[in-house]
């Protein structure tokens, strides 16, 4: 079964025309099964009030649908967010009220410049049908976006397999708890399966840890794949957002977005900036991250980078 995952930014109503609404919190997940494909659209419903859900929806996806109805600061923030994560594949659904030349001027030089532009929902559907899944080989990496207890089943988690594959009865680690868990069962679009691979969105029944001890951003992975850091500095490569006009301070607490993890960090100003997590973080080498200033009323995206080797 083929899986294709989208972040849909701009209007939840568009998602309603594409799929059926499922899991909902600050993120709303819509999906549809068509032939041999399962399509998923994640909408950050708490954005723009909370920028965290914007980055989490982008990190759950391989493709982006950007619905543009006006050129404002929030569109600019979404463009910077997409570009910060290096997401180059997507579709712009452009309202007839918006001048296309002005939009192209705004996105020029960013990864969004590579997106296909369409003007109506039917054209959007045609472009969606042309896309192929983005499979990623390697050790298992599955960020958890929701976790809960189900009577008679136990711990259930939801997430997109970002890398690798898994089977029923496989054993993995969950981070940052660093506990061993067992996959008891796998579901895709409410159907039970024996195995699944990237980039499928799955529901897993787990043995080994209660849902009470699992949070969004926790990661299921192959043993030894991730690094855990808590209370010590980490060397990173970092590039400041050119539109962030405030001085970076080592006395301020910022937020780091790594996959679905959103954690408080300090920035240590040395020859190269280092980060000091105030809560445990888990990452793999060269993984991308974004630094945010959640208190800023102008530019909330401070910059982006990756973990150094």
Supply the pTM of this predicted model: 0.96
Q: Is the pLDDT of residue 187 over 70?
A: yes
Radius of gyration in angstroms for the set of CA atoms belonging to the chain, rounded to a whole number: 19
pLDDT tens digits along 209-221:
999 999 999 999 9
Give the C-alpha separation, 89 to 91, whole Å: 7
pLDDT category at 292 given cuts 50, 70, 90 is: very high
Chosen CATH of 228-307 out of 3.40.50.1110, 2.40.30.10, 1.20.1250.20, 3.40.50.10260: 2.40.30.10
- Give CA 307 to chain center in angstroms: 17
pLDDT category at 1 given cuts 50, 70, 90 is: confident
Give the C-alpha separation, 136 to 130, whole Å: 19
Q: In what order do the strands lie in the sheet with 27-34?
A: 20-24, 27-34, 37-44, 2-9, 63-68, 90-94, 116-118
CATH of domain 141-224: 2.40.30.10
Fold of 2-130: Rossmann fold (3.40.50)
Segments in the chain forming alpha helices (H): 12-16, 51-59, 73-84, 100-107, 121-130
Q: Look at strands 63-68 and 20-24 and give their pairing.
A: unpaired
Name the region of 88 (left: φ>0; alpha: ψ -120 to 50; beta: rest). Answer: alpha
Tell me the percentage of the chain whose pLDDT exceeds 70. 100
Domain residue extents for the chain: 2-130, 141-224, 228-307
């Amino acid at each position: 079964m083929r899986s294709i995952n989208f972040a849909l930014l701009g209007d939840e109503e568009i998602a309603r025309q594409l799929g059926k609404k499922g899991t909902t919190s600050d993120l709303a997940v819509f999906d549809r099964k068509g032939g041999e494909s399962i399509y998923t659209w994640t909408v950050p419903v708490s954005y723009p009030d909370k920028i965290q859900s914007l980055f989490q929806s982008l990190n759950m996806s391989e493709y982006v649908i950007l619905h543009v109805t006006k050129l404002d600061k929030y569109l600019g923030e979404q463009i910077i967010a997409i570009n910060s994560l290096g997401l180059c594949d997507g579709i712009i659904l452009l309202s007839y009220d918006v001048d296309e030349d002005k939009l192209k001027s705004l996105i020029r030089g960013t990864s969004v410049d590579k997106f296909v532009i369409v003007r109506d929902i039917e054209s959007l559907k045609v472009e969606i049908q042309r896309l192929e899944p983005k499979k990623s080989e390697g050790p298992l990496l599955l960020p958890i976006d929701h976790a809960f207890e189900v009577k008679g089943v136990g711990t259930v988690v939801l997430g997109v397999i970002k890398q690798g594959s898994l089977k029923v009865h496989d054993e993995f680690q969950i981070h940052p708890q660093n506990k061993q868990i067992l996959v008891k069962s796998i579901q895709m679009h409410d159907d039970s399966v024996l195995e699944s691979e990237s980039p499928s969105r799955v529901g897993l029944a787990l043995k080994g840890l209660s849902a009470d001890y699992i949070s969004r951003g926790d990661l299921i992975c192959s043993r030894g794949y991730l690094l855990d850091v808590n209370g010590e500095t980490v060397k990173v490569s970092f590039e400041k957002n050119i539109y962030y006009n405030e001085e970076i301070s080592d006395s301020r607490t910022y937020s780091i977005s790594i996959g679905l993890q959103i954690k408080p960090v300090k920035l240590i100003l040395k020859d190269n900036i280092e980060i000091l997590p105030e809560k445990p973080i888990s990452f793999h080498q060269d993984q991308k991250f974004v630094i945010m200033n959640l208190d800023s009323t102008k530019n909330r995206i401070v910059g982006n980078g990756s973990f150094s080797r």
